[in-house]
Amino acid sequence: MKENSLPAALQHYFGFSTFKGQQEAVITEVMQNNNCFVIMPTGGGKSLCYQLPALIKPGTALVISPLIALMKNQVDVLRGLAADPAIAHVLNSSLTKTETERVKTDIRNGVTKLLFVAPESLAKEDNIAFLKTVPISFLAIDEAHCISEWGHDFRPDYRNIRPVIDKIAQNIPIVALTATATEKVQEDIVKNLKITDAKFFKDSFNRPNLFYEVRTKTDQVDVDIIKFIKQNEGKSGIIYCLSRKKVEELAQTLQVNGINALPYHAGLDAKSRVNHQDQFLNEDCDVIVATIAFGMGIDKPDVRFVIHHDIPKSIESYYQETGRAGRDGGEGHCLAFYSYKDIEKLEKFISGKPVAEQEVGMALLQEMVAYAETSMSRRKFILHYFGEAFDEKNGLGANMDDNTRYPKEQQEAQDELLTLLKVIAVTHNKYKSREIVHLLMGTTNSQIISHKTHEKPFFGSGKVQNERYWMALIRQAMVQGYLRKEIESYGVLHLTSRGTDFISSPKSFMMTLDHTHEATVSSAPLKGAVLDKQLMQLLKAERKKIAQQHEVPPYAVFQENSLEDMALKYPVKMEELITINGVGEGKAKKFGASFLHLIEQYVTENDITRPQDVLVKTTGVNSALKLYLIQNIDRKLPLDDIAAAKGMDMNQLLTTMETIVFAGTKLNISYWIDEILDEDDQEELHDYFMEADSDAVSAALEAFDTDFDEEEIRLYRLKFFSEVAN
């Protein structure tokens, strides 16, 4: 097809009147059977660069893709463009023998223009033998960064693509595409695929419509996320978590708080994953809570926010995942929650890998730490990482991050920068950031001692500042072009010509100190909330009155922490009372009415504005686990057997049972109590709990000295609450 007919083909197949960015130039090269290397940010239109030429050229284009979700989404889109659904197929292990034969027949008949295949499936001998017999128009490798060990999602099977292709046919044109690749990764990809002659296309990494924000992660992060989503009600969003367990927990928490959310991770069965993905794409679900298994290639243009519950392992991962917001050019809010505790967990995980992988993983992770802690323009930081300059005052997307919108005060750092650059110069560019900071602070490690650098006169010359200050200065000096990081040697710092010039002729250098992100964790359920002491006194008086009516101890009505939560949240409806810590539906219905009346009257009389936006329900015990425990206790199974079946020890089982019972559900464990305590012991414990001011186990242990152990007291307390309070 003639080049000037490409716009007509674009209109015919996709309904677009114009190409975006460099799409047309890439497609022209593919049409001429030339190798191409394409770097376009998420939302930049990479897939069209191989989809359109595949539809035009004779034969079938092979598209290597790492995830079934990505393949399915693209196949669905392509089938929507054509009358014949055989226009695009997937070839992978999920297909039955009959389905596989159907795919091969469609390819032989020339109907299928794009065949999506994972690298593992491509390498199977029967697939190689088949593909040798059919005309292949070209090979497209999506997510090509998976080839490089320096990429954020390295996959060994990707490194074997070239040898496999050579078995299928010689001189197939190759198009490698990725949204994220540093210079080191680019070099790896080109060498591995043997396409050093490839025409190189690189769009700007700048996504000016995205707003970047990092917040300190506290123990109330779920509350913060719910508040953010409710402030953006009706908008579509993705929340990324590092573990499957957290995905499930958070999705359930969002659901019970009236947010239309679904989980997505590799542990779900294939049918559920597809169903949840489709519901999100079709707007039957507002929020997807996911591991990184979700989203690669998902073409949903109107995602309005991407939240990272946990900081990812690299800038590349972060950039790709945040890039799923605002693909239509509309607003996109990228919010990440950060605490160094999460980094320590990731470091522990990385430390279990082979040494070479550890070096790479730690280097990538430290860049992520730098991004989270920096106080400079986050956009400038990201673009610098990918080798692109950005003018934070006049560039597209200026003032679109928390640091530039709410800047921290700058301070003069000319002398400190001079000290830093001189130390790097006299140590002959052989240390990484961390070692340079050690030298400035006067601390040693094995490398410093082996080079005898601790004996030099500059050792400890930077003690006037702290480590955080020097790390911030190094980052800002790099972005301003005074230093560069040597990727090949895992982050060794080198002076640039600009850095050398600064030593010769120092000038003003203004820097801003990094954020500390030290989480101020409070035991109070709401950040910034203050306990209403006057209401607390009224609630205690009401509890005492209700306890006397029911002839039970006050704590058996509602425990102290439940009253404190009421004095923070001011619940006035039954559904709000159920959100209170330690109050389940049963307990709320049994004792709640008078408390609700009291609180409502108090709120009205004192003209109190209730924090309705942060009345967050907790999921408590997983409903499936709760049902399992109730059923098996009703069957009178031994508690140690129940614990073992769920992979718990007795302490964990007791804690779970306490959560259930204290919220108002009865558990009849008399059969087990009768096995471990005789009638006199039970009577003694019953009398104690009826008369005691508190249900605290520590107080009971002290009262009975060595008569009972902690487990016996906790078990009897469960029986007492079930029979007397619930």
What is the dihedral sign for C-alpha 460, 462, 468, 471? negative
Q: What is the pLDDT of residue 58?
A: 94
Strands 199-202 and 136-141: unpaired
The answer to whether residues 184 and 222 belong to one domain is no
Residue 336 lies in a domain: yes
Tell me how far apart the alpha carbons of residues 231 and 47 are, in angstroms, rounded to a whole number: 33
Q: Is the pLDDT of residue 25 over 60?
A: yes
Tell me how far apart the alpha carbons of residues 628 and 82 are, in angstroms, rounded to a whole number: 50
The answer to whether residues 132 and 7 belong to one domain is yes
Q: Look at residues 43, 373, 70 and name the one whose alpha carbon lies nearest to residue 210.
A: 43
Q: What is the pLDDT of residue 519?
A: 47
The answer to whether residues 29 and 118 belong to one domain is yes
Residue 480 lies in a domain: yes
Tell me how far apart the alpha carbons of residues 144 and 520 are, in angstroms, rounded to a whole number: 41
Q: What is the pLDDT of residue 524?
A: 33
Q: Is 671 exposed, middle or buried (0-12, 13-18, 19+ CB in 10 A)?
A: middle
The answer to whether residues 565 and 628 belong to one domain is no
Matching residue, tokens 């000096």: 477
Tell me how far apart the alpha carbons of residues 435 and 449 are, in angstroms, rounded to a whole number: 11
Given 150, 167, 202, which residue is the final one in a domain?
202
- Average pLDDT of the chain is 86
Residue 162 lies in a domain: yes
Residue 239 lies in a domain: yes
Q: DSSP letters of 553-577?
A: -HHHHS-HHHHHHHHHH---SHHHH
The string of pLDDT tens digits covering residues 617-659 is 565 566 678 888 988 899 999 999 999 888 888 988 998 898 8
- The DSSP symbol for 401 reads B
Given 313, 328, 349, which residue is the final one in a domain?
349
The answer to whether residues 35 and 119 belong to one domain is yes
Which residues have CB under 8 Å from 157's CB, separation 6+?
A: 118, 119, 120, 123
Residue 223 lies in a domain: yes
The answer to whether residues 198 and 214 belong to one domain is no
pTM as predicted: 0.62
Q: What is the pLDDT of residue 546?
A: 93
| Domain enclosing residue 325, as ranges | 210-349
Q: Is the pLDDT of residue 282 over 90?
A: no
Task: Bin 667: left if φ > 0, else alpha if -120 < ψ < 50, else beta.
Answer: beta
The answer to whether residues 265 and 194 belong to one domain is no
The answer to whether residues 31 and 133 belong to one domain is yes
Residue 354 lies in a domain: no
The string of pLDDT tens digits covering residues 477-486 is 988 889 987 6
Residue 373 lies in a domain: no
| 241: Cα within 13 Å, side-chain hemisphere | 19
| 144: Cα within 13 Å, side-chain hemisphere | 31
Higher pLDDT, 430 or 222: 222
| Mean pLDDT of the region 470-477 | 89
3-state secondary structure labels for all residues of 142-154:
CCHHHHCCCCCCC
Residue type, 16: F
Q: What is the pLDDT of residue 623?
A: 66
- Output the six-digit token pair for 135: 């005309």
The answer to which of 54-68, 344-358, 589-603, 614-628 has the lowest mean pLDDT is 614-628
Residue 507 lies in a domain: yes
CATH number at residue 414: 1.10.10.10
CB 483 within 8 A of CB 473: no
Helix (H, G, I), strand (E, B) or coil at 174: strand
Let me know how many helices (H) and strands (E) the chain has, helices first: 34, 17
Q: Is the pLDDT of residue 368 over 80?
A: yes
Q: Is the pLDDT of residue 87 over 50?
A: yes
Q: Is the pLDDT of residue 527 over 60?
A: no
Q: What is the pLDDT of residue 720?
A: 92
The answer to whether residues 179 and 93 belong to one domain is yes
Q: What is the pLDDT of residue 528?
A: 38
The answer to whether residues 591 and 651 belong to one domain is no
The answer to whether residues 130 and 33 belong to one domain is yes
Which residues have CB under 8 Å from 281's CB, separation 6+?
A: 73, 298, 300
Strands 483-486 and 492-495: antiparallel
3-state secondary structure labels for all residues of 305-344:
EEEECCCCCCHHHHHHHHCCCCCCCCCEEEEEEECHHHHH
Residue type, 488: E
Matching residue, tokens 């601390």: 443
Q: What is the pLDDT of residue 523?
A: 32
| 283: Cα within 13 Å, side-chain hemisphere | 6
**The total number of structural domains that make up the chain:** 5
| Mean pLDDT of the region 580-603 | 88
The answer to whether residues 301 and 163 belong to one domain is no
Given 349, 381, 401, which residue is the final one in a domain?
349
Largest CA distance in the chain: 97
CATH number at residue 168: 3.40.50.300
CATH number at residue 659: 1.10.10.1390
| pLDDT confidence tier of residue 340, bands split at 50, 70 and 90 | confident
Q: Is the pLDDT of residue 364 over 50?
A: yes
- The DSSP symbol for 721 reads I
Which residues have CB under 8 Å from 388's CB, separation 6+?
A: 204, 205, 206
Q: What is the pLDDT of residue 625?
A: 81
**pLDDT cut 70: percent of the chain above it:** 93
Q: Is the pLDDT of residue 613 over 70?
A: no
Most confident of 84-93, 474-483, 604-613, 679-688: 679-688
Residue type, 300: K
